[in-house]
Amino acid sequence: MRDLDLGPQDCWIIEDSINGLRAARAAGCAAVAITTTFDAETLSAANPDMIVESFAKLRQLLEPQ
């Protein structure tokens, strides 16, 4: 973030692990869980902002309608 001159509020971190999601939250970033390693129920323990099953689904959610 420093190298890009961005604050945590400007960054989304996409993670497939509980520890990665916890690190994203601790950094103050938006945390997106992707279910490539663990299922949604397991990842929800890290309190992500969003859970998706693929990058394609995330892209679909982020594209303007």
Provide the pLDDT for residue 9: 94
Q: How far apart are the C-alpha atoms of 24 and 31, rounded to whole Å?
A: 6
pTM score of the predicted model: 0.87
The pLDDT score that the predictor gives to residue 20 is 97
Distances (CA, A) of 63 to 9, 29, 60: 20, 20, 5
Q: Look at the block and give the residue holding tokens 């520890």.
A: 19
Q: What is the pLDDT of residues 3-26, one digit of tens each?
A: 999 999 999 999 999 999 999 999
Quote the strand ranges of the chain, DSSP E: 12-15, 30-34, 50-52
pLDDT of residue 65: 79
| CA 46 from centroid of its chain's CA atoms | 10
CA separation for the pair 4, 51 (Å, rounded) = 26
